Amino acid sequence: MSLDKLHLWIPPSVLWTFGAIVALLVVASLIVAFMRRGDAGKHVELAARVNSWWVLVGVFAVALLFRRGIAIGFFAVLSFLALKEYLSLIPTRRADRSVLFWAYLCVPIQYWWVWNQWYHMFLIFIPVWAFLFIAMRMVLRGETRDFLRAAGTIHWGLMTMVFGLSHLAYLLVLPDGKPVPAHGAALLLFVVLLTELNDVLQYVWGRTLGKRKVIEPVSPKKTVEGLVGGALTTTVVAVLLAPVLTPLTRMDSVAVGLMIGFGGFLGDVTISAVKRDIGVKDTGTMIPGHGGILDRIDSLLFTAPLFFHFMAFFYF
Amino acid sequence: MGYLLRLFFYGVLVRLVVLFVLGLNVRHRERLPGRGPAILAANHNSHLDAMAMISLLPLRLLPKVRPVAAADYFLRNKLLAWFALNVVGIVPLNRQRTHEKEDLLAPIAAALERGEILVFFPEGSRGEPEQLAEFKTGLARIAERRPDVPVVPVYTYGLGKALPKGEWMIVPFFVDIFVGEPLHFDGDRIAYMERYRHAMAQLALEEKHADWT
């Protein structure tokens, strides 16, 4: 069966990139199998993590390849799961049960703007309308104990898990091919791939060469060597991959690589700070070897809006 | 027909709500019984409690899985009674004796005799959301009658936030479900309930849960 029969909406460059990702996973799986040879009790966590990567890449590929609507729906579900994980972790007030319902309702509404390419509402709905509405809804309940903490935490969740993540989906409705040759799905794959790769690279650099702690009170395992080594490697990959997937110039791809490298780190340690504040190790158990959804997408919470607005400002 | 309806209810609707709208963090799933007779004894905060626990068990066990529920509440009108008995598949339990000699636990004994896995709430009522009420000794009386039947303590957190007593709208929350080691009766009801209470307290300590007030 030829590929056109599938009516894929994505350009061939995206397919090729997915092919490269699969090749990378095959190599990773072989390395892990080699490390575990003769003793299945070794590196159990690492093996689980690599296996989960296969599932994550598979789900992401299916979500992205077929239809724009399916892809947008996928990110709506991802926002819902992330928001649910966040709202289940943080202390919430009994009085805010119905407020949380409204917070959840922001997910379909926000992605509705994305689907309809209503850029203005996409930008202001959560920072302005949801912000004011949630405060109003809370104050009308009349519970003042911990009011500011509750209003602040709920809005923080909406800003990161819904507003921040929905930037990935909005990449998919940027005008195809106009005014510069770019395809939303290719841009999306570019930022997600680099962000996740950056996580892995920072981990690998940190584990092999890491000495100096970079931000010990928040994340004791993060090192300067991991951060800088990871970010620089990510930048190299960004420069190599940019001509395939994006309209970025050489200089801009360096800037974007560094932005994703350091932005991803900041997203990661921000969620670490949240977890430390609450007193949990992982945000959930949904992804074996990784933890919860938030443990996996923490870096994207920063890199998605950063990359989007870089592109929107300089290219669209 | 009745069974198909029940299969659709638990296999599709309940699983959609419990696994997608809510979402479960299950620990020690391997301690769940693989066949009946057995009892899952859990804390009770929500109508969703039994639904969540039944979703933990594979669908092939569904014909054998039933929640024990208050007859005065669930059989109070015809429509609800039909739904509770045929779709939810409850074992109705009278909480008050209507005559002196009535054996309140007889329906439970009969269900265990049929090899069923029962979901049982020793608190007897949902009570205040996310707060534990006193465990009643009914559990020990059942265990005394059938010391061979394993009683598995199950601690849940979050279902009372998602759907507390007196509310009708489900608000999504991830739910923790921690399964304990099976208990067996050793001849003393008070000591037995103490062991159950201790097992539940230990499970509750496995994760730090924020107060919900």
ipTM metric:
0.87
User: Residue A5's pLDDT is what?
Assistant: 60
Burial B7-31 (b: 16+ CB within 10 A, else e): eebbeeebeebbeebbbbbbbeeee
A117 belongs to a structural domain: yes
> Minimum mean pLDDT among A67-71, A153-157, B170-174: which range?
A67-71
Closest approach of A86 to chain B, Cα-based (Å)? 9
A7 belongs to a structural domain: no
A103 belongs to a structural domain: yes
Closest approach of A32 to chain B, Cα-based (Å)? 27
Has residue A149 got a pLDDT over 60?
A: yes
Residue type, A176: D
- Overall CATH class of domain B2-204: alpha beta
Domain that holds residue A167: 68-173
Whole-prediction pTM: 0.91
From the list B26, B158, B169, which residue is nearest A88 (CB)? B158
Helix (H) or strand (E) holding B153: strand B151-157
The answer to whether B172 contacts chain A (CB < 8 Å) is yes
A109 belongs to a structural domain: yes
B160 Cβ neighbours under 8 A, 6+ residues apart: B45, B46, B126, B129, B130, B131, B212
Q: Using the beta-carbon criterion (under 8 Å), do B167 and A97 form an inter-chain contact?
A: yes
Residues of chain B found within 8 Å of residue A93, distances taken between Cβ atoms? 212-213
Q: Which residue of B has its CA nearest to A285?
A: B25
Q: Which residue of B has its CA nearest to A92?
A: B212
A146 belongs to a structural domain: yes
Instruction: Write out pLDDT tens, residues B180-210.
Output: 999 988 888 899 999 999 999 999 998 877 7
Has residue A80 got a pLDDT over 70?
A: yes
How far is the C-alpha of B35 from the C-alpha of B31, rounded, in Å?
Answer: 12
Residues of chain B found within 8 Å of residue A91, distances taken between Cβ atoms? 210-212
Q: Which of A74, A80, A83, A84 to mutate to test the interface with B (most CBs of B within 10 A)?
A: A84
Closest approach of A290 to chain B, Cα-based (Å)? 14
How far is the C-alpha of B107 from the C-alpha of B117, rounded, in Å?
Answer: 13
Closest approach of B92 to chain A, Cα-based (Å)? 31
Instruction: Write out pLDDT tens, residues B149-175.
Output: 999 999 999 999 999 988 889 999 999
Q: How many domains does chain A have?
A: 1
| DSSP helix/strand/coil, A276 | helix
Instruction: Write out pLDDT tens, residues A235-284.
Output: 999 999 999 999 999 999 999 999 999 999 999 999 999 999 888 888 88
A230 belongs to a structural domain: no
Instruction: Read off φ and ψ for residue A179, nearest 5 degrees.
Output: -80, -10
Q: Which residue of A has its CA nearest to B206?
A: A280
Cα distances (Å, whole numbers) of residue A45 to A40, A209, A265, A287, A297 = 11, 21, 22, 12, 19
Which of the four pLDDT bands, split at 50, 70 and 90, describes residue A18?
very high
Token pair recorded at residue A297: 């997408």
Contact A131, A155 (CB under 8 A): yes
Which of the four pLDDT bands, split at 50, 70 and 90, describes residue A3?
low
> Minimum mean pLDDT among A7-21, A193-207, B58-72: which range?
A7-21
Q: What is the mean pLDDT of chain B?
A: 89
